[in-house]
Structure 1
């Protein structure tokens, strides 16, 4: 009976039939790629009035560029076109980059909400933490923390296994690698829930403050600010909450705490589906740039207004030519 159980476990393949996911990944990659480059072009124009919010948005943009570099590797691997060495490279490097982006995005979105809250409160006691220097120092600490958690998953040596068609990244890990993988997952989940608390508290304080001033002359500006808060919160919940609900049981299935094959397969596809939502933050972030960056918003406005003017001029020239 024990031998049969082991053989059943060994033949339980979960990393298969991923091609349908890749089409959505391609769409996310294309939208995020152009959105990130447009944001880079907008942020390249220096703004003398930049505040710490711009520092957080630029760091969010850098994390998005890391994700655009990693996504093509995941797409090729999931489509089944990757060589064995490319699968190993993806598991050791690009898969980790995807998670680095995820948690950097979570943290910096939390900082964006916190900064908006501080701007609304306008307390002189909190003035120091709204300076650009503090924002840069805090961003450096965040990068160091996330890299400290994730980079060991890249550096811990892997074990050599026979080549086969369906293989999961966990299959390459040694016992030390699996233990660090579990530890980094639970630390990352703690980061998510702490940032979620920051976003929730910050948004509640901001909304309360705005509603207390809703009858003033700036009612339209207050409505616009409430829309921004709603968009950031909704995007954050849709992108990241489902993944972290699935992450704990999926991690247990990876480490054989959950051994039933059918349940492992269900958890794997649930993880892949929710990871797809998390990666879609690449499309959501340009909306954040638009609402919170004056540079980004003004560049879009100028670009499209110029295009409209060009169309009007061309139309007038065609009309004049026809008349003549």
Structure 2
């Protein structure tokens, strides 16, 4: 999926001849590598803690798996996929990857990153809509909040993404040292990649529309509840929750999609100016970092939205704090006991 220009010392063009004035766009990767390593090192502990928390809280969820829980579980799966694939991108950007690993990134790990990204977009949009529906008690909204319907939606998202993205893994490629992931692809593969970008953008636009509508309806309900203090407080709580998540969604994913389409046109050689390509590449990497940053923040979302998960984490923290206090007390006793014995011997 990700078609980043990567130059090799062989400088071989798609036609097999020497490269003439190749456009190098990825010669400023140092800051991005640091940022991606930061995402990995911060996101991995949080995601592993989230996995442990959901496993431990599973018993309390049995029989009452509401829609929010379903979306959070699938969001966590998307985060784990991203963290699994991110080290391959880091190695590739460092320039220390072997030839086979470079090809693996172009055909597999890069695709997994984008599957995770768009799955996260869909599930975050579902969560935002779900937060609005929880305060909108109608027969239809209650049906939409059933766990069976939520599981159906999540399966549709995963299947749709796999149908769109997996061909990028299996469509034919060329066998030579390449200048970029795009030059590794046959013409049909490159066309499918371009189609994939536009299909994923359509998914993003639909998710964004759902987020926007939910935010607007929540605000409308707030404005119409002035006369009833209780309704006002409930509506205010929902608006704050939905608006905060919608703002985070916008900051994470909108900048990336503003750059994504023109960057794809540059990859497909519709845009040929080298300086423009370099600027689009830097813009894409910068906004991609914002999009992937959500993996570090999702554990906070799990903690705030799932009561059983929150209680499990709190028990863990209390247990850890108690163990730390007991350890400190034991150390104090071990230090003070010899002094007490010495004082007793002196008195004797």
Regarding TM over 0.5, the answer is: yes
Whether the 8 Å CA contact 2:131–2:241 is kept in 1: the answer is no
Whether the 8 Å CA contact 1:22–1:78 is kept in 2: the answer is yes
Specify every segment of 5 or more residues in structure 1 that has no aligned partner in the other structure, as ranges. 1-6
Q: CA deviation at 1:320?
A: 6.8
Match of 2:242 in 1: 229
Find the aligned partners of 2:247 and 2:94 in 1 and give their Cα distance. Answer: 31
Q: Return 293-302 or 34-43, whichever deviates more.
A: 293-302
Aligned length in residues: 316
Task: Indicate the SS of the match to 2:172.
Answer: coil
Match of 1:294 in 2: 307
Whether the 8 Å CA contact 2:135–2:238 is kept in 1: the answer is no
Find the aligned partners of 2:165 and 2:97 in 1 and give their Cα distance. Answer: 24
Match of 1:27 in 2: 38
Find the aligned partners of 1:245 and 1:296 in 2 and give their Cα distance. Answer: 35
Matched, 1:199 2:214: no
Tell me: CA distance 1:9–1:59, structure 2 relative to 1, closer, same or farther (3 Å). Answer: farther
Whether the 8 Å CA contact 1:289–1:296 is kept in 2: the answer is yes
Q: CA deviation at 1:316?
A: 5.4
Match of 2:253 in 1: 240
Task: Indicate the SS of the match to 2:175.
Answer: coil
Which of 110, 135, 138 is matched with 2:153 structurally?
Answer: 138
Whether the 8 Å CA contact 1:243–1:275 is kept in 2: the answer is yes
Matched, 1:86 2:98: no
Task: Indicate the SS of the match to 1:127.
Answer: helix
Q: CA deviation at 1:192?
A: 0.8
Residue deviations 1:103-136, cap 9 Å, x none? 1001011111111111111101332222111111
With structure 1 as the length reference, what TM-score do the two structures score?
Answer: 0.89
Match of 1:274 in 2: 287
Whether the 8 Å CA contact 1:235–1:284 is kept in 2: the answer is no
Q: Larger % of helix: which? A: 1
Q: CA deviation at 1:89?
A: 0.5
With structure 2 as the length reference, what TM-score do the two structures score?
Answer: 0.83
Higher Cα Rg, which structure: 2
Match of 1:105 in 2: 120
Whether the 8 Å CA contact 2:215–2:239 is kept in 1: the answer is no
Matched, 1:16 2:31: no
Whether the 8 Å CA contact 1:121–1:209 is kept in 2: the answer is no
